[in-house]
Each structure stands twice: as C-alpha cells, then as structure tokens.
Chains A and B, each alone.
Chain A
Amino acid sequence: MISMLYFVVESMGSFCSRQQPLNEVDSDENIQAAEIDRRIAQETKTEQHIHKLLLLGAGESGKSTIFKQIRLLFQTGFDEAELRSYTSVIHANVYQTIKILYDGAKELAENEPNSLKYVVRTDNKEIGEKLSEIGSRMDSPCLTKEIAKEIATLWNDTAIQETYSHGNILQVPDCAQYFMENLERFSEVNYIPTKEDVLHARVRTTGVVEIQFSPVGESRKSGEVYRLYDVGGQRNERRKWIHLFEGVTSVIFCAAISEYDQMLFEDDTKNRMMETKELFEWVLKQSCFEKSSFMLFLNKFDIFEKKVHRVPLNVCEWFKDYQPMGSGKQEVEHAYEFVKKKFEELYFQNSKPDCVDRAFKIYRTTALDQKLIKKTFKLVDETLRRRNLIEAGLL
C-alpha cells in the first residue's frame, strides 16, 4: 500500500509540476511530509524489533573474533576479495610477533637472573636484528619464502622458545604459535588466507563496526533480527560515547580469562585481569544498561585450560584467595568455577536492587572455535527469546 501511495505521489508530482497553480504547491508538500512521517514511523517500528547486541570488553579480549565468527556463521562469510585483503595483515602480524619475541629475549637476557637461557645463538642474531627492524616499520614487506625460512629458524632457537613460554610479561599475542606453525603456507606466492587465518589475524578495532543478521536454523520462522556492534577495547574516553548505546537488548561482555598473568598493552604495569574487572564494574554501573541483559563470555578457555596447570591463579590479585584442589581436568573445572564465582560476585555487588530482573548468564567460550560459538550463540538466542516471552507475559 505504501508503494502504491508512493507511486501516486510521484505521478502526481510529475503531473503537477508542469502546470502548478500556486495553491497546489502546499498540498504537495503536505502529502510528501505525510509520506515521510509514515516512513519514519514504519522504520521505527521495524527498528524496535531488531535486537541490538553490544560487544564490550578490554582490548584483546576476543570481541572482534566473535564478531568475525558471527559473520561467518550467519552471513555470507568472507568473499575472496575480503580474504585477500587480509594477506598483508597476516604478514604484518608475523613480523610483529617475531619482533616481540626477539626483542623480548634480549630484554630477558639483560634483566633475568638465569639470563643465559634467553641468549639467542650467535648465528641467529643477525636474522633476529633484521627481523626486528622489519617489524618496526609501518609497512611490512611481503613474506617471501626466504624470510619465512629465517623466521622459522629463529623460532626454533631455544632462547626464543624459552621466551615464548614466559610470554606473559611481554606482549606476545596468543596466536603466536599459530602464525609460526603456518609460515610455509603464508609465504606461498598465491597465498589466500583461509577463514581460520582470518579469525586469527589481529587488527586493532577503531571506531564502531556493526552487522545485522538473522540466526538461521530452528528459529528461522521467528524472524529474529539481531544487530551486533563491536567497539574498540582501548581505554580512551569510553564514557563519552557509551551512552549512545542506551537501551540495547543485551551487552555481551568478553573477558579473556587466560589473561590473569598478563599486563596491559597500554600500560605494562597493570594486570589485564584487574583491568577487565574494573571495566566490568564500570559497565555494570552505567544507567544506560539498566534494562539490558548481560551475557558474560569468559573467553580463551582453551588457553586457560592449559595455563592453569603451569601458572597458579593466585598471581592475580583478584584471585589471591584461590586454593587449588587437585590436578587434571577436575582442577581446570575447579579453577573455572572459581573465576566464574568471582565474576558473579562482582555482578551482584554492582547491580542496583531494581536491576535484579536483568538476565545475567555466563558462558564459557573459545572464540576461535566456530562450532562452540555456534552452540553458544544458540543458547544466547534462546535466552533472549525467552526473555521476550517473559516480558510479554506469555511465560
């Protein structure tokens, strides 16, 4: 009906424009104004049915990876052009990684007590210096086979390996191993990144990105539409723009639980977990999220699993009252439950009494695992739909 009206208005317009007596101009404008109002009303109505999800979290908590996963799962994914565009990113990531490792080894060799194990072999030193220089440039060169071989040699140096295993005090990215293991592939002449590669690639998010999607599957009929927003995780001036997200359906807060022994990129004296804790507290207190559900994604569970055995949780001040229970899988579960309880406590301490009806759920995630994210999102979807029904009084 709207389109018909539009047609009528248009044709009227084209008819009238030829011989337009003065008193008819006004009514034309009125009709157009009415049409615009109608359009706005309709769009507002549609907007209300779109569930808005906001991804929040500290830097490198995995928000963007989840964003990419959603794209892969529920949209058409990445086309070839886009995949290609990631080639330079991945190459840059490789250079950055090896630079951090090499520089880190040098630093540890100077400062650590048993420094000898961080000293790189003499014949690798030259490679190391060269790569360190490349990594510091703004534009990195393409990754050739020769350079890839050199990087591989350096990576296999015991000192570098030793540095990697103590990577927590440096800023070694979590996907370092993935990059180093796939060097050969990355350096192929016709290399086009795979989806897996893209998920691992690291680009700092600036500004806001959004996608709109409909979860497919059993809820196809219900036609739920979601819009997911991803914002950069860094500290600067959050409070200025956060209120723009007032009234989102749900806040998805990502916390990388494997970071309890790592320091911030922006400030290497600050423990990352403490930063996450403070950020979560801050978000909970914002009045613009009073009505939003909170989904807490405790991310990087795969890294957490392995780290728990090597590094006790108590190194993080927030977790200092942790008592290990045993070993093996049970210990992992026990540690995870402890972390979960801490976050729960934080949530209830910082939620005002009248927000008690807000939905709050915690999910264990590994953002790089597509199947897991799909399952997790199905649960999120179910929760949000149930919420709707409860609010409408139907449940």
Chain B
Amino acid sequence: MPQFQQQASWRLEGGGQVIDLETAVKDGILGGGEGGGDLPAGKDGSFGASAEKLDLKKMIEELDSAAEEDVPSVFICPISLEPMVDPVTLCTGQTYERVHILKWFSLGHLTCPTTMQELWDDAVTPNQTLHQLIHAWFSQRYLRLKKRSEDVQGRTAELVKSLRKVKGQARVQALKDLQKILAAHPAVKKTVADSGGVALLSSLLGPFTSHAVGSEVIAILVNLSLDSDARANLMQPAKISLMVDMLNEGTIDTKINCTRFIEMLMEEKSFRSEVVTRLSLLVALLRLVKDKRHPNGIVAGLSLLKSICFHEQVRSLIVSIGAVPQLVELLPNLTPECLELALHILDDLSTIAGGCSALKDCAQTIPNAVRLLMRVSEACTQYALSILWAVCKLAPDECAPLAVEAGLAAKLLLVIQSSYSPELKQRAAELLKLCSLNYTTTLFISKCKLTRTIQ
C-alpha cells in the first residue's frame, strides 16, 4: 500500500472544501460519529501501515452487527449494496466491488451497470483512495466500539470488586449501577460471571439483608444465566425466606422479579417441593394475582402458581388458603394467556378432594367454566371441561342441573362437533350423558338449543 501523506488534499465536486483524510473521516463530509476516537497515527502521520493489520472485512461485519451508524453511501457498492472491501473503478468513473463487477462482465455484459454506457475500455482500476477512506472510517468506529466495550467490562469488574467491600447505601448504589450496565450492555453478563459475581451476589442474600439490597440483587440475578451450583446455593431456606418477604412487600417490579426467579429455581433438578410449601409465599402470590392494576404481575403470579401446582403435595395447602374461590372469581376478567394458566391451576386442584369440594361450593365455578367452553382455545376448553367433569362427578344431583341451566349441553354439542382431539370429544360426550340422566329426552333437547346469552 502506498504511503499516505496527511497533507494531500483534493477538490470535491460541488464543495470546494480542502480537506485531508483524517479530517474527512473525523469531522468532515463522511461524518464524524459521536465523541472522540482518534485514528492511531503512525510516526510520520501515516496510519496506513498499522491500521492495515485490522482486517477490513472483519471490521465491517462487527460494525454491521452493532448497527450504530449508517455507512456513507459513497462506500457502498451499487451492485451488492454492501460496503466495498476492494473498490475498483471503471472507465466511466463509477466504482464497484471488484468481485461483483467481474461477475457482471463474466455474464457477458460490457456496460457500466449504473450509467448503462457501453464500456470503451474493460480495465478495472483499483481505487486506492476510496479504499483508504473506507478503511479509515471503519477502523475509527471499530476501535471506538472496542474501547467502549472494554470500558464497560472494566467498569463491571470494578463494580463487582467494590461490592465485596462496601456496605449500606454505597452497596445499594453499586448494585443499581451494575444493573444499569447490564441492562444497556447484555454482553457484560459474562464478565459478571467470570469475576465471581454470581457467588458474591448470592452471598449478599441472607436473613439480615435489607429490602433495598435484596430487591436490587434479585433484579440483577433474574437476568443472569445461573448454573446448577448457583441455583442450588440459592435454594437455601434463608434466601428463599427473603425472596418471599420481598414478594410480600416490594414494588410490583420486585414482586415480578422474585416470582420469575423462584420459577427459574424450580426448573432445577435438585429442586424439592418443600422450598415452595410456604403459606406466606402462596398468600403473596394470590395477592399478586388479584391485583388488577398490574397485568404483568397477574401473568407472572399465575405462571408460578401453575408450576407450584404441579407438585401434588402443595395442592392441599393452596386450597387451604382459599385460592379456589378467588381464582374462580377472577376468571371473567383474565386475558387468554392468563385464562389458560388459571384454568390449568384449577384443574390441578380439582384432583384433590379439598379442591374439588371447594370448586363445587363456589357458586361461580359452573357458570364461568361453561362460558369458557369453546370460547378461547382448545387447552382452555380441555381444562374447563375437566373441571366441570370433576364437579359433576362429585355431586351429580346438585351440579348437573346447574350446569345444564347454564347452557352446558349446547356447549358440549359444539365440542363434540369440533375438530378438537378425540379424547376431549369423548369426555364431552360422557359428560353430556351424565347430565342428561335427570331429564326426559324432550326436555333435555330443549336445553341443548343455543340460547342468546351463549351465542
């Protein structure tokens, strides 16, 4: 590569500004970008030699993924619309990526693609100037990106180190700073893990952790990916107690973080259901689920409740806090996603005697469940049907008529005629039979008609 002299200037068309390469890249027509970031200058002001070491292609790729700034249009090849790595100029004065223009020629065209002129000379001249400019522009931004990301990593490592030492308000502030960096630069998660951040953060959670510290730690941990050991460590009773307390007392964001965090811990193999067999946790979740002001909270709470319900031992505890009537009463106002979760929970609870009788005792169960058949999704219909089945099986004389009055028969016919799974249709048919037992045929058929309310 020929040496580049900094004093070289040239006239630009339509501008008349005399500029040098460095200025052009830094502040001039090619855009300077934010902040400083000087090009590494060689001893005699030339940067050609050292900068060359940075592979242009690689830089283009990385900057492309960072996607911070638009590449100046003069650097773009008209054929590929990509930045040019090896620009060559034709006799018409237009510049293209060498590979692409040669391909164009090989296809038999001897014209300039943009001007459509016939070429009187098929030579392609490497455009050194443009190449230098492209390289310089990309180098500058690349180095700046690298510096910033190193900065961020450095700052993160510093913050983690400081967390080992500071206490009180300073600790809360350091945690807040760490969280901000993580939110802005997700790639930094690795640095946190490498500098022992995860273990450190875990150790900050204990029986004497203040709410301020605890809520920040959870906000950070919930976004990191934790390995098995870390998760096992976090399942210690004292730490879980702290999370439950924060679930009870925190802001809605803290509550959601804790909920999601516990759900994540539940996925761990070594998880034992005693960890979540806590009245205070279940009561807190129920409260979260009923809080209409925060739909995010409802989803998170229902999701965790569903995961907990999976463990049979906990189901009776959930029933004992009055979850069943409270969930049933919520049903009409839930979004489809939440409905599926809530119905799944109620279905799980119906498998135990206490749950089933609680469902039966709640006046809204049957009307709500009937209304939800064939309304939202196959899964919802399946759960609703299962609940109705359990309740009617438990007390057929009491519940079947109620269900039929609520329009169950017509809905069941719809299910049977639907394209849902055969098991579901079979169930529906059985339930229909069960309900028809107390009615004469004609009376029952009249109940099967769709009434206006159901329509």
Contacts and interface: CB of A to CB of B under 8 A. Distances in A.
Interface in B229-253: 236-238, 241, 245, 248-249, 251
Given A356-B283, A395-B251, A333 B208 contact: no
B211 A344 contact: no
Interface string B197-214: 000000000011011100
A360 B283 CA distance: 11
B18 interface: no
A228 to B, nearest CB: 21
A344 B279 contact: yes
Contacts of A218: 168-169
Contacts of B277: 341
B168 A386 contact: no
Contact of B211 (A345, A348, A360, A382): A382
B199 to A, nearest CB: 19
A72 interface: no
B311 to A, nearest CB: 16
Given A379-B210, A386-B211, A341 B283 contact: no
A26 to B, nearest CB: 56
Interface string A335-372: 01100110011011000010010011111100000000
A375 interface: yes
Contacts of A378: 210
A383 B211 contact: yes
Classify the secondary structure of B's interface with A: helix
A348 B283 contact: yes
A386 B248 CA distance: 11
Interface of B: 168-169, 207-208, 210-212, 236-238, 241, 245, 248-249, 251, 277-280, 283, 287, 321-322
A24 B17 CA distance: 96
Contact of A383 (B207, B249, B279, B287): B249
B287 A360 contact: no
29 contacts: A333-B236, A336-B237, A337-B237, A340-B241, A341-B277, A341-B278, A344-B279, A344-B280, A345-B279, A347-B279, A348-B279, A348-B321, A353-B322, A356-B283, A359-B248, A360-B280, A361-B245, A364-B207, A375-B208, A378-B210, A379-B208, A379-B210, A379-B211, A382-B210, A382-B211, A383-B249, A386-B211, A387-B249, A395-B251
B246 to A, nearest CB: 10
Nearest to A334: B237
Interface string A306-333: 0000000000000000000000000001
A17 to B, nearest CB: 58
A307 B211 CA distance: 31
A143 to B, nearest CB: 38
A363 B245 CA distance: 11
Contacts of B249: 359, 383, 386-387, 390
Nearest to A375: B208
Contacts of A382: 210-212
B189 to A, nearest CB: 29
B279 A333 contact: no
Contacts of B251: 395
A324 B322 CA distance: 31
A376 interface: yes
A333 B169 contact: no
Nearest to A340: B241
Contacts of B168: 218
